[in-house]
Amino acid sequence: MKLKTLFFCASALALASCGGPKEPAVVENVVAYTKVGDIGSLMVDAIEITVTNPKSLKGLTAADFDLTNNAPDGFVDPVTGEALKAYEDDGIVVTRKKNVLRIEAKPFNISGLRGKMWRSEPWQLVCSADENLSVNLDKVNDRCISVLDDCIKGEFTYAGLTREYILHLPKDAKGNVIENAPLLVWQIGGGEYDRDLMTAVTANRCVTSLPEAGVPCATLMFAIANPNYYYSASLDPERIKLVDRNNALQMAFIDTLIAEGKVDGSKLFCAGASSGGGCTMRFMMQFPDRFKAAVPCCAMDPIVPIHKVEEKYDGQFIDDLEKAFQDKVYKWDGTDMVLSDIDTKAFCELPMYFVHADSDMTCKVISSHAYYGARERLGAKNDLIQIYDDAYMQEFGIPKMISHFSWVPLLNDYSEGTAMDWLVKQM
């Protein structure tokens, strides 16, 4: 009897000292902090939960939280090549400021884990201490996207077209825009043609790669609102005229940025992948004296037919390109797009770094070899080419069956000798 009385008193004192049982959290707002991933998904790296009763957050630690179906980026495990699994170690870090609880973790796909038949299994943040603090995507009220939220979005009209754009301008440590910055303009791939601006800009890290790497460079992307030009478009003058018209619009917009002192006209760079790699080539054929360097990635064929056709003889593609590079492109004359001579000398003096995956079945690697070979034959001395093997692609979560995604390693790898390292060193 005496022992029971003592136990009761001790328990009562403990409850009194902590103010009684902790009240459940009353959630007011949930924000997911994200960044653009490699393969068209946003990656969540933090969640902030705002409550109306701050005392409900006291004493919470990382041990009180667990993430399920929190998948890393990519299509396969970089080490094993097998299907992705949820993180074994979520890397959760918990901090609190007044009534806001912040849970940071290893970046995970906002759509969850790809399960059978590529169906997504939604992620969930589980709180064992208070079920009211358990959240999933349905409970997220707002999303913040790193870099993109700080970009300028707008429309620009030129050459009879109106296109949406998104522009990142670098800032210094005090948050002031850096004037006369270098500029990289990215040409979107065929999967992003005729799509809305945010779908296009989140398809890959085209606008965010350089800022996230800490490089003080402006980045620009236009949403191209016409259907993809597709294979062998070079045989259709109207399609090619439209490709060149889109490029003319982009060049005119870049000229406004130069006139406003936002970018340095002597440090213009262009890159793009797939259809965008082909558009990069045409852009450089139109304005070779305006750009400092270019990176065509897994380029398609808006110059001569290469994909979905066979060479009539070994070296035909190089011969065809050599002739095309000395021919004509469309330029805007103030009234219409008209055929104009290519400045072949300036085009070949413009350095290019070609990148392509060896196993690419969507845009065959022979196209990059042909572009490189034709330019070399015409006197280009500063070009480079890197062909990614299957093992290298897997390091970035890209399996052989979809090795067309060579823009993933391109935009992630800044190590010595890579295309991005080469590009940055010229800025």
Distance (Å, rounded) from C-alpha 378 to C-alpha 303? 16
HSE, side-chain direction, 13 A CA sphere, residue 84:
27
Q: For residue 55, which of 130, 105, 136 has the smallest C-alpha distance?
A: 130
The pLDDT assigned to 8 comes to 38
Determine the Cα angle at 243 with ends 239 and 248, to 5°.
140
Supply 152's token pair.
């300028």
The pTM score is 0.92
The pLDDT assigned to 116 comes to 66
Please list, in sequence order, all residues whose beta carbon lies within 8 angstroms of the beta carbon of residue 150, skipping any fewer than 6 positions away. 168
Q: For residue 343, which of 294, 288, 295 has the smallest C-alpha distance?
A: 288
Supply 317's token pair.
């593609």
Distance (Å, rounded) from C-alpha 53 to C-alpha 56? 6
Rg (CA), the chain: 26
The DSSP secondary-structure symbol of 322 reads H
Q: For residue 81, which of 411, 396, 413 has the smallest C-alpha distance?
A: 396
133 within 8 A of 27, measured Cβ to Cβ: yes
SS3 assignment for 214-263: CCCCEEEEEECCCCCCCCCHHHCHHHHHHHHHHHHHHHHHHHHHHHCCCE
Order of strands, sheet of 384-388, starting from the edge strand that comes earlier in the sequence? 152-158, 161-168, 218-223, 181-187, 263-273, 293-297, 353-357, 384-388
70 within 8 A of 86, measured Cβ to Cβ: yes
For residue 174, the SS3 value is coil
391 within 8 A of 261, measured Cβ to Cβ: no
CA dihedral 235, 236, 240, 243 (to 10 degrees): -120
Distance (Å, rounded) from C-alpha 243 to C-alpha 283? 9
Distance (Å, rounded) from C-alpha 400 to C-alpha 75? 11
The pLDDT assigned to 9 comes to 40
Report the sign of the C-alpha dihedral through residues 235, 236, 239, 240, in that order: positive
| Regions of the chain where pLDDT drops below 50 | 1-19
Helix (H) / strand (E) containing 393: helix 390-394
Angle between the 275-286 and 237-259 helix axes, to the nearest 10 degrees? 70
Distance (Å, rounded) from C-alpha 343 to C-alpha 102? 56
Report the sign of the C-alpha dihedral through residues 115, 116, 118, 120, in that order: negative
Q: What is the pLDDT of residues 182-217, one digit of tens each?
A: 999 999 999 999 999 999 999 999 999 999 999 999
Q: For residue 124, which of 74, 66, 85, 72 has the smallest C-alpha distance?
A: 66
Distance (Å, rounded) from C-alpha 53 to C-alpha 66? 22
40 within 8 A of 204, measured Cβ to Cβ: yes
The pLDDT assigned to 119 comes to 78
> Partners of 353 in the beta sheet?
384
The pLDDT assigned to 120 comes to 81
